[in-house]
Amino acid sequence: MERLQKLLARAGVASRRASEELIHQGRVTVDGQVVTQPGARADPAQSVICVDGQPIRLPTGHHYLLLHKPAGYITTRQDQFGRPTVMDLVPAELRSRIYPVGRLDADTTGLLLLSDDGELANRLIHPRYHVPKTYLATVEGVPNEAELQVLRSGVELEDGTTAPAQAVLVNASRTKATIRLTLSEGRNRQVKRMCEAVGHPVVKLVRIAMASLELDDLPEGQFRHLNPLEINELERVAFAED
């Protein structure tokens, strides 16, 4: 048996203090019964604990690392040619357990999740679940509105027309532009192939977000562990029914 507010905090619902407030507000149930008294305890192995009707999920002991992948590192656990891989950038004691969730090209930088949670990884990368991934693509030339519209509505590629995407021109000079692209697919080299197809080859590509995760100001080559709130939110997004 453990105090409810402690369980909620461990599940990443809210801080312990804020969890006490949720309990006080009558938003927490144990086996269907609203529990409001402070100090109430529950056994998560025996009871279903819900907040606003949603069952809480306690951490499973999995690892979740968010890496800012630099250019020149291959997204694989081991490279047959001995080139540097993203595994070189994570702690040695985790190397045998975690693996990259999806992949970025060797010259692409940005957000890469590494985990040993296979179920979540599958949800995040399988096209069926439409988990959004956002990229900043620096391209040659400046795409006009019609070209951006093609990126949004669907580009014909050799493996089929791409699904609807978001494409926003974020800045432009005379010779180059940066587009923020949000895709819900994840085919091989998709951003590069889409931009190339509308006449604007990519010269630099950074992934800045995936599902609820953002790269923010994590320095290149560095990683951080996700906190319970982030894991919870990631699961919420990944397991949302579409």
Give the residue numbers marked as catalytic.
105
Structural contact between residues 75 and 85, judged by C-beta atoms closer than 8 angstroms: yes
Among 192, 215, 232, 235, binds ligand URA (CB under 6 A): 192
Measured distance CA(151)–CA(221) in Å, rounded: 30
Closer residue to ligand URA in complex, CB, 120/183: 183
Measured distance CA(196)–CA(57) in Å, rounded: 43
- By the rule CB under 6 A, 205 interacts with ligand URA: yes
Among 113, 155, 167, 191, binds ligand URA (CB under 6 A): 191
Structural contact between residues 134 and 212, judged by C-beta atoms closer than 8 angstroms: no
Residues that bind ligand URA (rule: CB under 6 A) add up to a total of: 8
Closer residue to ligand URA in complex, CB, 7/206: 206
Among 105, 140, 214, 233, binds ligand URA (CB under 6 A): 105
- Single out the segment in contact with ligand URA by CB under 6 A; choices: 5-13, 148-156, 189-197, 230-238: 189-197
- Single out the segment in contact with ligand URA by CB under 6 A; choices: 24-32, 100-108, 114-122, 150-158: 100-108
For every residue of 67-119, which 3-state class applies, written as one string? EEECCCCECCCCCCCCCCEHHHHCCHHHCCCCEECCCCCCCCEEEEEEECCHH
Is 226 buried (19+), middle (13-18) or exposed (0-12) by CB count in 10 A?
buried
- By the rule CB under 6 A, 16 interacts with ligand URA: no
Among 189, 216, 222, 240, binds ligand URA (CB under 6 A): 189
Sign for the pseudo-dihedral over CA of 121, 137, 68, 236: negative
Among 190, 200, 215, 226, binds ligand URA (CB under 6 A): 190
Binding site for ligand URA (CB under 6 A): 104-105, 108, 189-192, 205
